[in-house]
Amino acid sequence: MQESLFFVHLEQKQLFMKFSPSQLNTYLFFKIPAAFWCGVRVDSVLEHQCTVKVKHSRFNQNPFKSIYFAVQEMAGELATGVLIKMQIEKTGRKISMLVSQNNSSYFKKAKGVILFTCTADPILEEVVAQAILTSEGQSFWMKSIGVDEEGDQVCELNFLWSIKLKP
């Protein structure tokens, strides 16, 4: 029993090493350069939570001197997508993922450093398992909350993700 727990722990540790903030930020640089150049960075990754950070700069501002909404959307999507990708990687299966809808609410100007946090819904594991079991596409909503340095909520971003087992 202890030996199997050791291997599960080792497996999870390797999974998190694969999803460290520095490795994810390197991935951004090469695969999603628009987000990287706008200042989107993974701040922290835990098993059920991902936080992405954006600092207001002249490269990501709108004419009203706050962070452009599209940059906020990139950060929010990344926070949700990392958690989904982590869950998919645990299965060892090839599963495609795509944002099929989104909606957003903005409450105040995004200035300074904004942290976008997504906490995985317990249903995520079930949805991924269902996609594998049925070989049919599955859709589910994930939410990311943007908070400024004062702790005020700047925005709430919702993404409808669709996943499907690759043949």
Report the DSSP beta bridge partners of residue 165. Answer: 95
Asked if CATH classification 3.90.470.10 holds for the domain at 2-165, the reply, yes or no, is no
Q: Is the pLDDT of residue 6 over 70?
A: no
CA 92 to mean position of chain CA atoms: 19
Q: Model confidence at 7, in pLDDT bands (50, 70, 90)?
A: very low
Supply the pTM of this predicted model: 0.88
Instruction: Say how far apart CA 72 and CA 104 lie, in whole Å.
Output: 10
Q: Convert the pLDDT of each residue in 30-48 to its tens digit.
A: 999 999 999 999 999 998 9
Instruction: Say how far apart CA 42 and CA 51 lie, in whole Å.
Output: 6
Tell me which H or E stretch contains 97. strand 95-106
Q: Is the pLDDT of residue 22 over 80?
A: yes
Hey, where are the domains in the chain? 2-165
Q: Is the pLDDT of residue 15 over 80?
A: no
Instruction: Say how far apart CA 77 and CA 65 lie, in whole Å.
Output: 22
Q: Convert the pLDDT of each residue in 96-117 to its tens digit.
A: 999 999 999 999 999 999 999 9
What is residue 8's predicted lDDT score, i.e. its pLDDT?
Answer: 41
Q: Convert the pLDDT of each residue in 47-90 to its tens digit.
A: 899 999 999 999 999 999 999 999 999 999 999 999 999 999 99
- Please give the mean pLDDT across all residues of the chain: 90
